[in-house]
Structure 1
Amino acid sequence: MSDAEWTAVRPLLPMPAWLRGRGGQPEAHCHRAMLDAIRYQVDNGTKWRAMPADFPPWDRVYAFFRRWRDHGLVREFHDRLRGKVREKAGREPEPSAGVIDSQSVKADAVVGADSRGFDGGKLINGRKRHVVVDTLGLLLGVMVTSADIGDRAAAHVLLARVAAAYHRLALVWADGGYTGRLVEYSLTVLALVLAIVKRSDDMRGFVVLPERWIVERFFAHLMRSRRLVRDFERSTTSAEAMVYWSATMLMTRRFARPRPSRA
């Protein structure tokens, strides 16, 4: 992180237990060094044991990653940062509209058969990332499943999580793969309007569809993180944590970017 990024995000970091009088010992390495090490891991896709010597020992970095994953600290940090980025853009901290979609990616050999599958539509053997983003393309929720899980089945769970976390959320755009009973379920159970944006039958070639391009841009950002080009994580919880870390990298750059002059 640059100095400007660190200055912006430092107040948003979860406070360690020992600073809150809840016991434990002070950490041996500062949070900036740990965050930089994990960001390097996500951005460059190296093995944990191949962590450069400039960073803390790899096992300490992995322990930090695992602790933040298991206790939900990476999502807490991510959500705080997203609220600040939205406020800087002149939006409410909590969104009222979003976009849902999925992305199938090949799985590495370390991914077990219990969490991988074959996506017949994309012809990919691996996992599928189901995400909901807001209208700025910032992540609201992610769920990683085997690639053979249908979009509608995963959306039942993911939309319920997102609706419970963001009470202002009232509208979600989706593609034609989310039609059917899911639309009625979203309206009657979750109080969400699921608006289907379909591609016209007479369209040829690449066409930018309203609202749906926002989530496609988010997927393009994930593909810039080498750790996410394939799914290298042994567990789906680690895969979801990697998506959150990649999203925080996108937001710290936005948050620390100086506002354009109106002169």
Structure 2
Amino acid sequence: MIFRISGEPHCWERVYAFFRRWREHGLIAELHDRLREQVRTRAGRNPQPSAGIVDSQSVKAAANVPAASRGYDGNKKINGRRRHIVTDTLGLLLSVHVTPADTGDRDAFQALLPVLSKKFDRLRLIWADGGYTGPVLAGAAKALNIVLEVVKRTDDTKGFRILPRRWVVERSFGWLMRSRRLARDFETTAVSAEAMVLWSMTMVMSRRLADRPRA
């Protein structure tokens, strides 16, 4: 498909200019947040969440991603970036932070905590996996009046098993990965990568509000 603007083919520069302007002025985040409040209200929830779930996902980076903003995740054997997200109990995105793939979950979440506390006055509980344990992170959460509850696997857990609460954020990653743009990180900057995640979840919520199933 060829997009034409003022008779000129392939004017991706103009499309990107709009995207960059919306990103820099916070309009992408504002649109996303307003839709999330509408989805929560329709579901009979308070527009502001009181609980959330945190997790991360490493994805390969495209060749255009600078070396300074990528890293190697030794556990997943992935050279790229890591998406750290916090969702509400419905799986809707509350916050996203994109880092090099070698950034630890504890370090990234500690940077996210003040943002979450300032943005969501009612947020008091966050579930996480074993990668978020540690006295420093627990102390940082407590200082912001947030309880960090770690949902661990039991000793008899073998193979794949759906764990309480943690499946919600895993489902959210599944929703995001239905956007082909997110199958790999193609963005030169981390802020653009975060904006693309917001765009993807915006599409999920807009379809839900319009009662339009994905084709």
Q: Deviations over 1:115-168 (max 9, x none)?
A: 000011111110000000000000000000000100000000112111110010
Structure 1 gap segments, 5+ residues each: 1-51, 259-263
Shift, 1:58, TM fit:
2.0
- Percent pairwise identity: 61
Q: What is the aligned counterpart of 2:201 among 241, 247, 251?
A: 247
Find the partner of 1:183 among 138, 145, 148.
138
2:146 — aligned with what? 192
Distance of aligned partners of 1:120 and 1:73 in 2 relative to their CA distance in 1, 3 Å threshold: same
Is 1:68 the counterpart of 2:68 in the alignment? Answer: no
CA offsets 1:45-96 (integer angstroms, 9 cap, x no match): xxxxxxx334654222111110111111000000001000100000011100
For 1:111, which of 65, 71, 96 is the aligned residue? 65
Alignment of 1:97-246 (within 5 A): 97-181=51-135, 182-187=137-142, 189-246=143-200
Alpha-carbon distance between aligned partners in 1 of 2:86 and 2:92, rounded to the nearest angstrom: 9
Match in the other structure for 2:2: 53
Aligned to 2:210: 256
- AA at the equivalent of 1:183: A
Which amino acid in structure 2 is aligned with residue 228 of structure 1? L
Whose Rg is larger? 1
Letter in 1 for 2:55: D
| Equivalent residues, number | 206
Amino acid at match of 1:208: I
Partner of 1:8: none
Distance 2:3 2:184 in 1: 26
Structure 2 residue runs without a partner (length 5+)? 6-10
Displacement of 1:172 = 0.3
SS in 2 for 1:172: strand
- In structure 1, what residue type is equivalent to 2:2? A
Query: For residue 126 of structure 2, what is the amino acid of its counterpart?
Result: V
**How far does the alpha carbon of each residue in 1:163-207 deviate from its partner, in whole angstroms, 9 at most, with x for none?**
1100100000000000012112201x2110000000112111111
RMSD: 1.1
Match status 1:95 vs 2:49 = yes
**Structure-2 separation of matches of 1:55 and 1:171:** 49
